[in-house]
A and B are shown apart, each in its own frame.
Chain A
Amino acid sequence: MTAATLERGLTALKEHIDAPVAAFFSSCVHCGLCAEACLFYTETGDPKYAPIRKLEPLRRQWRREYTLVGRLGALLGLIKPLTDDELAEWAHLIYDSCTMCGRCTLVCPVGNDLTYMIRKLREGMAASGHARKGLVEAAKKTIKLGSPMGVQLPALNAQIRRVEAEVGLPIPVDVAGVDYMVILSSMEVIQFPEIIGALARIFDRAGVTWTIPSSGFEATNVGIQIGSRDIAEEIVRRVVEAAEKLRVKYVISPECGHAYVALRWEGPNLLGRPYRFEVIHLMELLAKLRAEGRLPLAGKHDQRVTFHDPCQIIRRGGIDQEPRDLLNEITEDFAEMPDAGIWNWCCGGGGGVSAVDEAEHLRTKVFSRKMCQLDEVHPEQLVTACANCRNIIEEGLEAYNKDIEVIGLTELVAEYLAPDETAPAEGGDGS
Chain B
Amino acid sequence: MSHGRAGAPELKDSLGATPDALADVLRRRGVSRRAFLNYCSLLGALMALPPALVPRLAHALEGARRPSVIWLSFQECTGCTESLTRSHAPSVEDLIFQSISLDYHHTLQAASGAAAEAAREHAMKENAGKYLVVVDGSIPLANPGYSTIAGISNKDMLLDTARGAAAILAVGTCASYGGLPKADPNPTGAVAVADLITGKPVINIPGCPPIPVVITGVVAHFLAFGLPGLDDLGRPLAFFGERIHDRCYRRPFYDRGLFAHGFDDDGARKGWCLYKVGCKGPVAFNACATVKWNAGVSFPIEAGHPCLGCSQPDFWDGGDFYQTLAIPTENVAGLAMGAMAVGAGAGAAVSALNTAKRKTAKKAHETVTIENLEKPKEKAET
Contacts and interface: CB of A to CB of B under 8 A. Distances in A.
Contacts of A1: 366, 372
Given A15-B362, A231-B368, A226 B373 contact: yes
A127 B372 CA distance: 8
A139 interface: yes
Interface in A198-233: 226, 228-231
Interface stretch (B52-60, B295-303, B350-358): B350-358
Nearest to B374: A129
B374 A15 contact: no
Interface in A297-326: none
A230 B358 contact: no
B368 A230 contact: yes
Contacts of A5: 375
Interface stretch (A6-14, A262-270, A343-351): A6-14
Interface in B329-382: 350, 354, 357-358, 360-362, 364-376, 379-380
A127 B354 CA distance: 21
A230 B367 contact: yes
Interface string B81-125: 000000000000000000000000000000000000000000000
Nearest to A17: B358
A120 to B, nearest CB: 12
Which of A65, A226, A230 gathers the greatest number of chain B CB atoms within 10 Å? A230
A22 to B, nearest CB: 8
A141 B360 CA distance: 32
Contacts of A68: 350
A15 B363 CA distance: 9
Given A66-B357, A68-B350, A15 B372 contact: no
Contacts of A231: 368-370
Contacts of A11: 361, 364-365
Interface residues of B, number: 22
Contacts of A140: 370, 373
Contacts of B357: 14, 65-66
A401 interface: no
Nearest to B353: A66
A74 interface: no
Interface string A104-134: 0000000000000000000000110101000
Contacts of A66: 354, 357
Nearest to A10: B361
A15 B370 contact: no
Which of A127, A131, A226 gathers the greatest number of chain B CB atoms within 10 Å? A127
B4 to A, nearest CB: 38
B370 A144 contact: yes
Contact of B375 (A3, A17, A143, A230): A3
A4 B365 contact: no
A4 B370 CA distance: 10
A269 to B, nearest CB: 15
A422 interface: no
A399 to B, nearest CB: 30
Contact of B368 (A17, A18, A65, A228): A228
Which of B367, B370, B374 gathers the greatest number of chain A CB atoms within 10 Å? B370
Chain A interface helix/strand/loop/mixed:
helix
Given A4-B373, A228-B368, A15 B380 contact: no
Contact of A3 (B360, B365, B370, B372): B372
Contacts of B365: 11-12, 15
B347 to A, nearest CB: 11
Nearest to A8: B366
B375 A129 contact: yes
Contacts of B358: 14-15, 17-18
Given A3-B375, A66-B354, A129-B374, A230 B369 contact: yes
Nearest to A15: B361
B370 to A, nearest CB: 5
Nearest to A6: B375
A129 B370 contact: no
Contacts of A143: 369-370
Interface string B60-95: 000000000000000000000000000000000000
A166 B68 CA distance: 106
A144 B362 CA distance: 27
A68 B349 CA distance: 11
Contacts of B376: 3
A229 B367 CA distance: 9
Given A14-B357, A66-B354, A139 B370 contact: yes
Contacts of A229: 368
Contacts of B370: 136, 139-140, 143-144, 231
A419 B185 CA distance: 92
Interface string A1-37: 1111100100110110110000000000000000000
A339 B290 CA distance: 42
A68 B353 CA distance: 11
A226 B368 CA distance: 11
A231 to B, nearest CB: 6
Contact of B374 (A3, A18, A144, A228): A3
A131 B373 contact: yes
Contact of A126 (B361, B368, B379): B368
Contacts of B368: 12, 126-127, 228-231
Contacts of B362: 15
Nearest to A142: B370
A65 B358 CA distance: 10
B124 to A, nearest CB: 57
Given A15-B361, A65-B357, A2 B373 contact: no
Contacts of B371: 2
A279 B372 CA distance: 32
Contacts of A136: 370, 373-374
A58 B379 CA distance: 24
B361 to A, nearest CB: 4
Contacts of B369: 143, 230-231
Contacts of A139: 370, 373
A323 to B, nearest CB: 36
A226 B369 CA distance: 12
Interface of B: 350, 354, 357-358, 360-362, 364-376, 379-380
Q: 6 nearest interchain CB pairs?
A: A14-B361, A129-B375, A15-B361, A228-B368, A3-B376, A230-B368
16 contacts: A3-B374, A4-B372, A4-B375, A11-B365, A12-B361, A14-B360, A15-B362, A126-B368, A127-B366, A129-B373, A129-B374, A136-B370, A140-B370, A140-B373, A144-B370, A231-B370
Given A3-B379, A143-B369, A231-B369, 9 more contacts: A3-B374, A3-B376, A15-B362, A17-B358, A126-B368, A127-B366, A140-B373, A143-B370, A230-B367
